[in-house]
Structure 1
């Protein structure tokens, strides 16, 4: 059976959830999917780095709490998060990149992805930065090195809208896409409909873990802007940058705006959209929109995300699902790994001197 060795870059909620999934369901997944997964390297800002070519003992690592020190006390461990060394020199076949998103230049995630691709390793990432800001360049680099660059979780977590559109809409002309791409904003707007002010709704979202301590990226539309760039470029064949996508968040919406929309059978939603003009060019934007109650996106409530695709033969097709959550996003990484496997038939794990060991 084929085996893939993984290096996890970042060991916060998402990659930790992926490790938990492999630890608890690894045998079941191997039987179902036809390949097995083994984690051989982990890096983390708090814990440092851990490299064990024969496989990391996951129960031990997953049991580490905030006060239990770093990886330096473990064989193959260091207090330093040696990201570049681990990516370039570990025996991993696949690098799972799940660090924070830098909306300005995509670093350090862009470098993480580049190092891996240059080293001939597949990459799966949940990070919007590398895809939105350097996607074309990184895909070309992946192709040049004969490896895969997968990023399903970069838009709405575990809901596979990119792969759905690319694989299931074959034979259809996709003319546009619009969606609720930020669950935090959607939750906040719903609470404002219930009578809370913006600041109260943001505080509640923070208390529930939906919003960061600094909610600017969410409520001012920066997060959605990156996701729109990804959707436009990946699904509509555009070559947009952030500068091409006008952005307006929800911070200017007032209680009066909310009430006025309700009185007219409408609901405010922060909408990211990209549409093909008659001349073939792509127009995209991020802005709050008062949608009529019969619009398919108007009924999407709470932290849920949804995307409506405009097609030539089916008309509008709407898909909704979780837009956040550590387990849901970890599933996106797993779906990327499955796509990598499907794109590399017969591939065995690791270097040539470990091929036989990968067979069971």
Structure 2
């Protein structure tokens, strides 16, 4: 049976969840998917770096105590030597799940570039490298005969990108719009019930929906990155964040939202991209008061949804979880499945 050795760059919630899935469901996955998954490298800010070509004992890693590092293990070091591990690991797939940097995409872009240059395929949930370096990185992947996959960079485990490229094949997609940030969507829902913005954000933080610094969610910069990805991937644009106008929800008051509800409308933070009359693509992020008949108006809580405007089917809407460790880990798994399919196709061509 075919096997994929993987390197986990970052061992926070998402990559830990992927490792747990491999540990718990490895045999079943092998039966279902036709290939075995084996983790051969891990890097982490807290734990350090670990490379074991014969496979890492994940049960042992999960049993490590607070303060313990990989330094005491064969192939281990106390420091997270990310780029060294990426270039020298025996893995054929690198899973990049470090933090998103909306300014320059680093260190994620460098991690992905190093892996592709080393002849390794990459899957990432990191929006930064995709939105800010996607064109370059996809070209680099093609030049090295590997693939760069990033399904989880937009709507977590909900397969928006693959849905558009595979399920909607044969349709012309003229526009795409969506609720792409679960935190802001939850906050707007609470404000509709009369809460202030600050109180709603505090509640979202208490529930784990919002970070300690919720600026990227509330001011729309998180959605801005995702809109760049959607516009470039689905509409064939070549946008940067500078091309996407942005307004967040901080300008809205609870009174604005309650008044909209009285008029049969509901505010949502919408990220959109559409083909304009000049033949280009216009993209923006803004709070919009949608009529209740709009397919995105009924999306509540931390759920995300994307609507595609097509020539033959009209509007097609897909909704699902926009966050969550296990849900996002599934996106990584779906990318690994796509990488396996690509490798098998290449092997058939070569034979």
**Shorter chain as normaliser: what TM range?**
over 0.9
- Give the structure 1 partner of residue 250 of structure 2: 251
SS at match of 2:344: coil
CA contact (8 A) 2:194 2:258 kept: no
Q: Per-residue CA shift, 1:215-260, capped at 9, x if unaligned?
A: 0011000000000000000000000000000000001100110111
CA contact (8 A) 1:247 1:286 kept: yes
SS at match of 2:153: helix
- Give the structure 1 partner of residue 24 of structure 2: 24
Q: 5 Å matches for 1:192-271?
A: 192-271=191-270
Instruction: Give the drift of 1:278.
Output: 2.6
SS at match of 2:106: coil
- Give the structure 1 partner of residue 5 of structure 2: 5
Instruction: Give the drift of 1:347.
Output: 7.8
CA contact (8 A) 2:192 2:258 kept: yes
In 2, the alpha carbon distance for the partners of 1:330 and 1:227 equals: 18
Q: Per-residue CA shift, 1:111-138, capped at 9, x if unaligned?
A: 0000000000000000000000000000
Instruction: Give the drift of 1:64.
Output: 2.3
Instruction: Give the drift of 1:196.
Output: 1.1
- Give the structure 1 partner of residue 160 of structure 2: 161
Instruction: Give the drift of 1:63.
Output: 2.0
SS at match of 2:42: strand
Q: 5 Å matches for 1:31-70?
A: 31-65=31-65, 67-70=66-69
In 1, the alpha carbon distance for the partners of 2:95 and 2:20 equals: 14
CA contact (8 A) 1:2 1:347 kept: no
Q: TM-score, normalised by structure 1?
A: 0.95
Instruction: Give the drift of 1:153.
Output: 0.2
Can you give the 5+ residue segments of structure 1 that lack an aligned partner in the other structure?
A: 349-360
In 2, the alpha carbon distance for the partners of 1:28 and 1:347 equals: 26
In 2, the alpha carbon distance for the partners of 1:226 and 1:327 equals: 22
Stretches of 4+ moved more than 4 A in 1? none
Aligned residues: CA RMSD: 1.0
SS at match of 2:4: strand
Instruction: Give the drift of 1:70.
Output: 1.0
SS at match of 1:341: helix
Matched, 1:101 2:106: no
Q: Do the aligned partners of residues 83 and 337 (structure 1) sit closer, same or farther apart at CA in structure 2, a change above 3 Å counting?
A: same
SS at match of 2:85: helix
SS at match of 1:154: helix
- Give the structure 2 partner of residue 324 of structure 1: 323
Instruction: Give the drift of 1:68.
Output: 4.0
Q: TM-score, normalised by structure 2?
A: 0.98
Q: Do the aligned partners of residues 223 and 29 (structure 1) sit closer, same or farther apart at CA in structure 2, a change above 3 Å counting?
A: same
Instruction: Give the drift of 1:78.
Output: 0.5
CA contact (8 A) 1:189 1:268 kept: yes
Instruction: Give the drift of 1:346.
Output: 7.2
Matched, 1:71 2:65: no
In 2, the alpha carbon distance for the partners of 1:255 and 1:98 equals: 36
Q: Per-residue CA shift, 1:130-151, capped at 9, x if unaligned?
A: 0000000000000000000000
In 1, the alpha carbon distance for the partners of 2:7 and 2:183 equals: 30
In 1, the alpha carbon distance for the partners of 2:217 and 2:239 equals: 20
- Give the structure 2 partner of residue 285 of structure 1: 284
